[in-house]
Amino acid sequence: MNTDIRSLEPKSLWNHFADLNAVPRGSKKEAKVIQFMVDFGKKLGLETLVDPVQNVIIKKPATLGMENRKTVVLQSHLDMVHQKNNDTVFDFDKDGIKMYIDGDWVTADGTTLGADNGLGVAAIMSILESKDIPHPAIEALFTIDEETGMTGAKGLQAGYLSGEILLNLDTEDDEEIDIGCAGGIDVTALGSYLQEELLGNTKIMTLEVKGLNGGHSGMDIHRGLGNANKIMNRLLYESFDFEIKLVSILGGSLRNAIPRESKAVLAVPTEKLKAFENKIAIATLDIKKEFQTVDGGLQITLSESDVKVNKAMETHSFITLLKTLYTAHNGVYRMSPDIAGLVETSNNIAKVTVENGTIKIECLTRSAVETSKMDLANALRSAYELAGYEVNFAGSYPGWQPNPQSPILSLMTGLYNQLFKKDAQVVACHAGLECGILGQNYPKMDMISFGPTIQGAHSPDEKANIPSTQKFWKYLLDILKNIPTKS
């Protein structure tokens, strides 16, 4: 399956991508891929080091005649989002990604592909290995844990890099040059509840929401995609009159992925089961109709469970949970008043876990404006604290302020027009790129982000466009060839 990928052009890039995808590299589990990159750098005889937080830095001297050009930092992150379809048998801690070609796209068999940000890593590896690509001095920075905490970018200390220009290879539309991004903060609510004995004649049922597209909780948040946690809460709220009891909920898996699936175990009075089933059926038709354009694969199922239980959440706690989740904001909170079409502030209710007397609700709040980020975070805190839950803020990171007068931006827009006979779109994005964080310890570094076209990042539908990757590679090499001389 993966052998077909190795025949694609540019062969060096796709072969490095295939090698990389054979190495497990989930966020916070990067030990193997860190060693993989260290071995790669040392095999090439290049200066290779690992900083205190485990970022890998590989330095390559300029090619002949390029010694007087500005040093360029090429940067991508090593970790990838681990998502798979429920029916896919795959162990991310052991298995390599199974890729295949589908027309003009490379995709994976039931899992995330890792093109985010593996294609950027592979491109940098190809330049480090090359013997015939003209380039200035290169400092390759491979950060860790970008997807779940920006730990690598946050921990990179001043003094490790000397480059004046940073090219971040981590955006997902080849027509865009990114000069700004959103910051973020994790908002977590923790609660507890009493359990009561199940009395009377009840049926234990499993209610499932699945088949949603999911996607990137920043880049896709404006698309109106279904959030499995909000849909599940809606179903339970509308059905509460049937005296159902909640045993457990497990919804979502990652903070930065729009949740695709949620499962609730319920105790339903036997005499009300038929009416409950009818209510779910009617609600299913309504919800599927609402989402048919953007989430046509949505499935809502109610089936008898084989779980053996004798306790459930007491009624007052159940009502409080449902009302709290209904109140908590999900999706776009504010559009940018300065950049047309750009989401300024949003929230993703990413994970809801209710079981064994504990409640945990995990959100990722994003904004390009720090005060707006905290405004929404405090709105969520208020909703959760009114319910009696404990609320924690963690993992806050800044946005990246756009600089339309950036010298590297001027160079890159000109080169894009020359190469492709049209203008690039200069944008800011609602994702959490590392540039803003890296800029805190390297404030004089001129930064740009760009990359090949990738669709469905953070979901098992992720795919990378082959012609776009070729376009990206051509553009990257032209940029390196035209880096200006040192001041």
Catalytic residues: 79, 146
The token pair at 438 is 């890296």
CB 439 within 8 A of CB 445: yes
User: What whole-number distance in Å separates Cα of residue 20 and Cα of residue 256?
Assistant: 22
Beta strands in 211-320 (DSSP E): 215-216, 245-251, 257-258, 262-269, 299-304, 311-313
User: What whole-number distance in Å separates Cα of residue 99 and Cα of residue 112?
Assistant: 10
The token pair at 419 is 């190469």
User: What whole-number distance in Å separates Cα of residue 197 and Cα of residue 130?
Assistant: 68
398 preceded by a cis bond (ω within 30 of 0): no
User: What whole-number distance in Å separates Cα of residue 94 and Cα of residue 298?
Assistant: 30
Q: 151: which residues sit within 8 A by CB, 6+ positions away?
A: 28, 53, 144, 145
User: What whole-number distance in Å separates Cα of residue 194 and Cα of residue 313?
Assistant: 6
CB 369 within 8 A of CB 344: yes
